[in-house]
Amino acid sequence: MITRRGLIAASAAGAVLTSCTMRTGARGGPDPYRNEVYGYGPLREDPNRILDLPEGFSYRIVSRAGETMDDGLYVPGKIDGMACFPLDGSRVALMRNHELWPDDIERGPAGPRLRRLDRIDRTKAYDFDLDGRPLPGGTTTIVYDMAARRRVSQHLSLTGTTVNCAGGATPWGTWLSCEEAVLRAGESAAKDHGWVFEVPVRTRGLAEPKPLFGLGRFEHEAAAIDPRTGIVYLTEDSRDDLGLFYRFLPNDRRRLEAGGRLQALGLREAPEGGDVRNFKDEPITWRPGDRKEIAWIDLEGTDNPHSDLRLRGQKAGAAFVGRGEGVFFGGDALYFACTSSGPTQNGQILRYVPSPREGQPGEADEPGRLELFVEPDDEQVLDFADNLTIAPWGHIYACEDRYSDVDRNHLRALTPEGKVYTVARNVFEGNGELAGVCFSPDGKACFVNIISPGITLAITGPWEQFRA
């Protein structure tokens, strides 16, 4: 197995590859990309026009939207955030979100013309549209055999929710599925939305749809838990770029439904509310490698009836971030993507190192620190990083989420030093965003989704052959 130490040593020893130009783009023009380190070498054209990969790598299609699942329902579309969990033997479970709005109902588990609507257990649906039909958002669970490299089963595991974007794995083996829309009761559904739901991995049917109200109501994107403290960190994908970064201090680490305190990240240097976005029309507040000491701001009214929690939080001292998306905890730090931040708005990846007394008395004496880890100024290197994960060997893998007729979306990776290389390119018709990147526990397979038309892929290859 390749080790994190070995890859860090390789990164330090190798030369930088400044550019690598590849195949034609969607309109027949050049579609270049630039690696800052070699990685796995040039991408090879996929004859099936789905995913270009380096020499020696291959993929298998695990699941497609529209297939019939083992429960008789259709695989829903808009396959987004995902995580991989160990089961028994060589089997793993993939927990997938489906980012479906109420009017996407025919792309949901009932399928075209709602042919299989009667197969959905209405007693397990969280909410219904104004016509009384279960909302199409939710999660599906895939059981995959790593040894046989095949899908064993797939089924609907959460239903009646909406715009389930990303989420996060818990240390106790459940999936946090996050709603990215703050719908109000009576708009297009019967209940309020904008919650996080916890879904057991080993549930064979539909989970009980219980929102975790303590984690707040806002445009949730992703979640990550520090296994040392049980603190939950949460991103907000606010489309007006005025989002916050949150943490939840649970009353009971293993029972998030028991409530706790929701706080937002602030800057000690800006007690009246700060800004880490570095937008070009505003003063540049920091540069890659810079670090800022953090204060955490208590929030009130976290049920957010007027959808203004982020604005009230900033007035109380929290700092704005630009479209917080993927978040992942690895080693001693937390990494999260801010998709549209930076002077060129190609995005940022921020690194948060918690305080040794995170969430405890005395934290202010040893505050956590936020670092501007990566801020690309060239879309051919990294553009609109969204979902992300950390590979078993310590590299950050990030999905791109730029909808373009010219530039393709890629799966990028970053070394511990913040150098970028390219792992894959979406060449499927439509150039949908890549999403849900995650690794099997043994590090042999990288799973990723093409959100539209909805494909889950398993990538394998010589991961140990990374070159700096």
| Residue 382, CA distances (Å) to 221, 278, 428 in order | 20, 17, 19
Cα separation, 266 vs 316, whole angstroms? 9
Predicted pLDDT of residue 14? 34
* pLDDT the model gives residue 331: 85
**pLDDT value for 31:** 59
Q: Distance between CA atoms of 190 and 133, rounded to whole angstroms?
A: 10
Q: Which residue has the tokens 């978040």?
A: 327
DSSP notation for 90-129: TEEEEEEEE---GGGGGGSTT-GGGTTGGGS-GGGBS-B-
pLDDT of residue 403: 79
In whole angstroms, give the CA distance from residue 85 to residue 438: 10
DSSP secondary structure of 232-284? EEEEE--TTS-B-EEEEEESSTT-GGG-EEEEEEEETT-TT--B----TTS--
Residue appearing with tokens 């052959």: 465
Which residues lie closer than 8 Å to 173 by C-beta, 6 or more apart?
Answer: 85, 200, 201, 202
Q: What is the pLDDT of residues 191-241, one digit of tens each?
A: 999 999 999 999 899 999 999 999 999 999 999 999 999 999 999 999 898
- Assess contact for 163 and 101: CB atoms under 8 A: yes
pTM attached to this predicted model: 0.93
46 phi/psi in degrees, rounded to 5: -85, 115
Weakly modelled stretches of the chain, pLDDT under 70: 1-31
Task: Give the Cβ contact number of residue 29 at 10 Å.
Answer: 10
b or e along 133-155 (b: 16 or more beta carbons within 10 Å of the residue's beta carbon)? bbbbbbbbbbbbebeeeebeebb
